[in-house]
Amino acid sequence: MTAHDAALLLRDFVNTLDAETGTDELAAPDRLTAWLRSQNLLPSGAVAGRADLRTAVALREGLRDALRAHHDDAAPGRALDGVLAGLPLRVAVVPGADPVLVPAGHGAAAALARLAAAVMAAVADGTWHRLKICPACAWAFLDTSRNRSRTWCSMRVCGNRTKTRAYRARRAAPDGAAPDRR
């Protein structure tokens, strides 16, 4: 993986659930299989089962909580630790390279373990803390701003919506008083 690849993979995985529309790309084991194959994480012939689907959804939601904590300063839930602990990973020492996490199993469990390994790859390349959750739409995004200050997934959509709401609230407030921001 090159720089940002791990972060982009994690972003895409978290975004398999569109919180605004309720569309879930991982709604069934066959859809999980298709998504993992589309990311070259699962070889042809291997399929995901119901247990893999439960693990994938728990991993996705645990990652979402962890990414939300990157700009909310909230502590991520402990559920992610439990999911990660159940994935088959091992450290591999490759001559001439740094040690890396690799799947120790096969099939869908190994594919999900590759996603867990992507967390550590994102930490190593400095992109982990740049992964955030948009407070307006719950979409994951990679903050590529120099000072890591980006708040929304898209200034054109979510940023504009939020700023428009704030403007309208200010205009509707008596005597131009600032509305309560709670």
69-118 per-position pLDDT tens digit: 877 766 667 788 999 999 999 999 989 988 988 999 899 999 999 999 99
Cα radius of gyration (the chain) = 19
pLDDT given at position 34: 98
> Which residues, at least 6 apart from 82, have a Cβ–Cβ distance to it below 8 Å?
58
Tell me the pLDDT of the chain averaged across its residues. Answer: 87
For residues 155 and 177, what is the distance between their CA atoms, to the nearest angstrom? 26
Which amino acid does the sequence have at 110? A
pLDDT given at position 3: 61
What confidence tens digit (pLDDT) does each residue in 111-148 have? 999 999 999 999 999 999 999 999 888 899 998 888 87
What confidence tens digit (pLDDT) does each residue in 59-69 have? 999 999 999 88
Q: Pull the structure tokens for residue 86.
A: 């159940």
Percent of the chain scoring above 90 in pLDDT: 61
Answer yes or no: are the C-beta atoms of 93 and 86 closer than 8 Å. Answer: no
For residues 150 and 22, what is the distance between their CA atoms, to the nearest angstrom? 25
Q: Which residues pair with 90 in a beta bridge?
A: 102
